[in-house]
C-alpha cells in the first residue's frame, strides 16, 4: 500500500499515520518529523529549515524532494509507505510521480482529511508531543494520564515551536494557497478519498479503513 495523507495543519495526519503504521506494518514518512529531527541535531539543513518552519512557510521544494527521494530508497519502503505532509506543492507532487515511475510503482490512495480552520487552531494549541517516542496527545481531547508525561514511555511532553496562534494562522494560509491545489491534481487521476476529519480519532480511523479497504 502506497498512500499519501493530505490535510491542513492539525487535521490528524500524524495521528492517523501512526495508527495505519501499526495496523499495516508500513513506515510513516513525515517530512515535518524529519526536518524537526534535523533542527534538533543542529545540522546545516536543520538550521535553514527552522527559519521556514517558524514562519509557517514551506521549505524550498528542491530540499524537500531530495530528502524524500533518499528516504523512499530505503529497504523498509519496498512494500509500501504512508506519506504524511508530502507532497505539499504541485512541484513536489510531480517530482514524486516521476520518482515512483522510475522505480515502476505508483500511489494507490490519496486520503484528504478535511477539518474546518476554527477547529484546527484548538487542536494545535492543545497538542503535546513526546520528546522520546513522538506519540501525540491533546490536553483536552486525548490527555496523558499524568500531565506532561508520556503514557507509553514516560518521556517528557513538549509543545511544538510552530504551534503558536500567529504561526498556526500562517500555516493555514500556506496550506490553502500552496497545498490545496494538489487535491485537484490527484482528483484528475481518480486517487482522492475525502474523509470528514471532525469525528473522534477512532471514527476517522474507521472512515479511512473503509476508503482504502485495509
**Binding-site ranges for ligand AP5 (CB under 6 A):** 7, 9-15, 31-32, 35, 52-53, 56-59, 64, 85-86, 88, 92, 123-124, 126-127, 136-138, 141-142, 171, 200-201, 204
Q: Which of 19, 36, 50, 127 is catalytic?
A: 127
Beta bridge partners of 113: 195
- Cβ nearer to Mg ion, comparing 101 with 161: 161
Task: Evaluate whether 142 touches 45 at the Cβ level (below 8 Å).
Answer: no
Tracing cell 494549541 back to the chain, one arrives at 125
CB-based closest residue to Mg ion? 14
Residue 170: which residues within 8 A CB-CB, separation 6 or more? 55, 56, 57
- Cβ nearer to ligand AP5, comparing 13 with 193: 13
Residues 5-64 that bind Mg ion (CB under 5 A): 13-14
Query: For this structure, is 13 an active site residue?
Result: yes
Element (H, E) at 125: helix 117-125
Cβ atoms within 10 Å, residue 193: 18
Query: For this structure, is 169 an active site residue?
Result: no
* Catalytic annotation, residues: 13, 88, 127, 160, 171
Amino acid at each position: 500500500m502506497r498512500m499519501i495523507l493530505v490535510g491542513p495543519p492539525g487535521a490528524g495526519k500524524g495521528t492517523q499515520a501512526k495508527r495505519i503504521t501499526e495496523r499495516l506494518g508500513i513506515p510513516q514518512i513525515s517530512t515535518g518529523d524529519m526536518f524537526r529531527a534535523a533542527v534538533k541535531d543542529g545540522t546545516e539543513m536543520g538550521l535553514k529549515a527552522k527559519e521556514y518552519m517558524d514562519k509557517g512557510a514551506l521549505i524550498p521544494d528542491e530540499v524537500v524532494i531530495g530528502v524524500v527521494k533518499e528516504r523512499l530508497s530505503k529497504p523498509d519502503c519496498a512494500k509500501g509507505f504512508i506519506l504524511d505532509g508530502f507532497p505539499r506543492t504541485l512541484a513536489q507532487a510531480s517530482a514524486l510521480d516521476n520518482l515512483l515511475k522510475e522505480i515502476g510503482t505508483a500511489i494507490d490512495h490519496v486520503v484528504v482529511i478535511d477539518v474546518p480552520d476554527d477547529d484546527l487552531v484548538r487542536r494545535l494549541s492543545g497538542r503535546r508531543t513526546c520528546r522520546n517516542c513522538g506519540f501525540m496527545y491533546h490536553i483536552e481531547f486525548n490527555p496523558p494520564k499524568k500531565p506532561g508525561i508520556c503514557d507509553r514511555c514516560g518521556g517528557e511532553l513538549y509543545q511544538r515551536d510552530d504551534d503558536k496562534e500567529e504561526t498556526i494562522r500562517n500555516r493555514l494560509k500556506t496550506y490553502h494557497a500552496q497545498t490545496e491545489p494538489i487535491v485537484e491534481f490527484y482528483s484528475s487521476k481518480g486517487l482522492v478519498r475525502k474523509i470528514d476529519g471532525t469525528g473522534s480519532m477512532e471514527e476517522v480511523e474507521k472512515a479511512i479503513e473503509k476508503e482504502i479497504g485495509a
